[in-house]
Amino acid sequence: MQRAVDSLALEGLPDVRKHCLAAGTIAIRCGSSSAFIAGYAKEISDAFGPGDASGDDLSANAAGRSCAERSAEGSALAACCAGAGY
């Protein structure tokens, strides 16, 4: 999962867009269940650590997983995330 996220150019993007793209990419490469677990694990880590836990991030993760069901490649995923407001 980490390699999937590391392959993305996320620098400078809004946080929710990062979440949508990361969750979608993980879902495409590793499966939707893995993306679900990774997204919630990240927010739990943020809640108890130095991060900023956010319901908006969870919504963006869900959008990314949904977009992954319709997108087999990064460019289509990016367009779907943008169309969903992320």
Q: What is the pLDDT of residues 48-70, one digit of tens each?
A: 998 899 999 999 999 999 999 99
Quickly state the pLDDT bin for 75 (edges 50, 70, 90).
confident
pLDDT for residue 72 is more than 80: no
* pLDDT score for 68: 96
CA distance 7 to 47: 26
pTM of the prediction? 0.91
Q: What's the total number of domains in the chain?
A: 1
| Cα Dmax for the chain | 34
> Residue 41: what residue type?
A
* pLDDT score for 74: 72
The domain containing residue 36 runs over which residues? 2-83
Taking only the tens place, the pLDDT of each residue in 7-60 is: 999 999 999 999 999 999 999 999 999 999 999 999 999 999 988 999 999 999
Contact 49, 8 (CB under 8 A): no
